[in-house]
Amino acid sequence: MSNYCPQPSHPAPAAGVLVLHAWWGLTPFFRSFCDRLAAEDFRVLAPDLYNGATASTIPQAEKLRSTLKRQQVLAQIQVSAAELRALAGSEQIGLVGFSLGAYYGMWLADIDPSIAALVAFYGIRQGEYTACRAAFQFHLAHPDPYVSDSGGKSLEKSLKAAARPAEFFHYPDTGHWFFESDQPAYHPAFAQAAWTRAVYFLKRNLTVK
């Protein structure tokens, strides 16, 4: 199992953030995203769910995703979260997930009370979240063939019923992967807005001991 773990800008204690990549794999874009978080003084760790393999087309990504074994991925994410907690010296960490990574990140938040804040880019997961302790922030494209409006509304109701704080930001006339600068759907203005919102949210909800 390989991880990407850039150093924060300053040696002082830093809040930990786990980053889970989209189905493209741990590409240069996601590594650069981790670098940007580290420059904001977060302790960042990104597990490589494909062990070095990456995709540049949707068929390639679909093929890579099909190789994932659910229980192995869940175990890998749990190990990575534990490693990050040790690095950050804190029992609470944040999480940023993209599409596939958002789904697995929400699974982790649903069962792991150490996840205090979760940012999900164009990805959701249905659940009750009654044992969850995280605050949530969602960045959703519209229209998006991978995330239905009804699914988003159902999740919003579930989080409200579970008394979990959640912010939903919708980006009109965009598509899935609008945040990713190496994808055709990239929207620079909305990507910058989402970045600013995500960083503020993580800093607001994560404490450094």
**What would the pLDDT profile of 126-144 be if each residue is shown by its tens digit?**
999 999 999 999 999 999 9
Flag whether pLDDT at 208 surpasses 80: no
- Report pTM: 0.96
Structure tokens at 159: 């989080």
Flag whether pLDDT at 118 surpasses 90: yes
Q: Are 56 and 24 in contact (CB under 8 A)?
A: yes
Structure tokens at 40: 């904001």
Flag whether pLDDT at 39 surpasses 60: yes
Q: How far apart are CA 82 and CA 86, in angstroms?
A: 6
Q: Are 120 and 105 in contact (CB under 8 A)?
A: yes
Q: How far apart are CA 180 and CA 28, in angstroms?
A: 11
Find the mean pLDDT for residues 89-98: 96
Task: Specify the pLDDT at position 32.
Answer: 98
Task: Specify the pLDDT at position 165.
Answer: 97
Structure tokens at 90: 């804190």
Q: Are 135 and 117 in contact (CB under 8 A)?
A: yes
Task: Specify the pLDDT at position 209.
Answer: 58
Q: How far apart are CA 76 and CA 105, in angstroms?
A: 12
